[in-house]
Amino acid sequence: MAFFGLSDIRFNDIEPRKFGADGLAALEKTDFEKTTLRYPLTVGSADKGHYMVFFVREQKNTSFKANDRGGQSWDAQQEIAIQRQLSEGRSAGGGGSAVKTNASFADVVNNKLSTFLNQGTNAVKQKFGSGGRLGKISGAVEGFVAGPPQPTREEKVDTAIERSVKSIIDKSPFGFMNTTRLTSDAIALYMPDTINFDSEQNYSELRPGEEILGQALAAAPELLSIMKSPGENKAQALVNAAKKSGLAQKFGENALAALGSPSVARLGLFAGTGRVTNPMLELLYSSPALRTFQFEFFFYPRSEREAYEVQKIIERFRFHQAPELERYPNSKTQSGLLIPPSEFDIKFFYAGKQNPNIPPIATCVLQSVQVNFAPRGWTAYESIGDNDPALGRTGMPVAIQMSLGFRETTYITKEDFNIGSPSVAGKGVSNYDWSN
């Protein structure tokens, strides 16, 4: 994907690190604002504000803490408030006020027209009062402008987010042993070309017919029917029924298998009887499968600042994907144990709020990081008058491809869906009435 053309690269420009009201609005005035890496530098401002954020969860016993890198980490109680503020698009440090986005041209026109008409009706009221004919006309105009009271778009979006963008429940009975905590380390990237959600379930194939007990259970109804039927020679009838069933075949296979190979025993019985044992295939539900996600990004840095940001993004993903050597306190001696890598919370945003049109993803581990420094063949930047390679300058690849492979740490059940389940307003997303 050619996200940027090469014709608009200005490699010597140094762009300031600044979010702006139309950028990563959900992260403004929070601890994420200073520690979030991003690509492109204008992410959140382009493509109508669509972007995704990878929030880092560090191991609690790590010696590489976010606080030591100028960031912040939160305990379980603090994280609840942080997660809610992020889902609602509210500033964590702004007293709970909603983050405002730029109004569209149509909104501006409607507001101007509404203000103009309201000013006119107010002037008529003040001049003639509200009881006369002109006052009634002004009241009608005012009612036409205002219309019936309706929920605002903000209220509808907030309700939709609350009903459709929810945290996936941790199914582990050992959740109290959670070893990670949310940090202010985050990476904001543009929306990739593909966002696949594959849900799978595991089923086991059973073959009860290959066991004597299974064949006995299959033959039991016929044998019971003979026992209940009138007649004196039931013993012979039972023997005949057993011979015709797979029970006798299975007994014969086991007897011959004791003398040699089971495959030879089956072949001999097939030659003698012309029949094989019915395996009675059954499909039994086994377990849910943990979902995996693959995200692919292309980096075409347009400036030295953006090139340096790309290098830091790749480094941060690789850093948090790596395990850690545990050492004895106040010593450089290894303890022989490893501290697991960091985990990630992945969220999708639009105009500063979580996008309810994309399903939520549970906390993930980063299984693989693949970086191709020559996806279009090797080409690199060369700064004029600078022959020494430097990070983000001379020697910087023109294009870099990064593929991230994530795996969820918990599985999905019906409790993670709002459809058919009670919500705050007593409605599910599927039957929510948007007409009013």
Per-residue pLDDT, averaged over 307-316, amounts to 96
Q: pLDDT of 289-304, one tens digit each?
A: 999 999 999 999 999 8
Q: pLDDT of 108-160, one tens digit each?
A: 444 544 555 455 555 545 555 555 554 554 454 444 444 445 556 555 555 55
> How far apart are alpha carbons 49 and 41 in whole angstroms?
13
In 3D space, the residue among 184, 189, 166 whose CA is nearest the CA of residue 52 turns out to be 189
What is the predicted pLDDT for the residue at 185? Answer: 94
What is the predicted pLDDT for the residue at 337? Answer: 92
**Residue 432 reports pLDDT greater than 50:** no
**151 SS3 class:** coil
- Give the angle subtended at the CA of 177 by the CAs of 172 and 178, to the nearest 5°: 80
**Residue 419 reports pLDDT greater than 90:** no
Q: What's the pLDDT band for 408 if we cut at 50, 70, 90?
A: very high
pTM here is: 0.70
**90 SS3 class:** strand
Per-residue pLDDT, averaged over 224-229, amounts to 69
Torsion of CA 99, 312, 344, 371, to 10 degrees: 130
What is the predicted pLDDT for the residue at 192? Answer: 95
**336 SS3 class:** strand
**220 SS3 class:** helix
What is the predicted pLDDT for the residue at 356? Answer: 85
Q: Which of 127-131, 234-238, 278-282, 345-349 has the lowest mean pLDDT?
A: 127-131
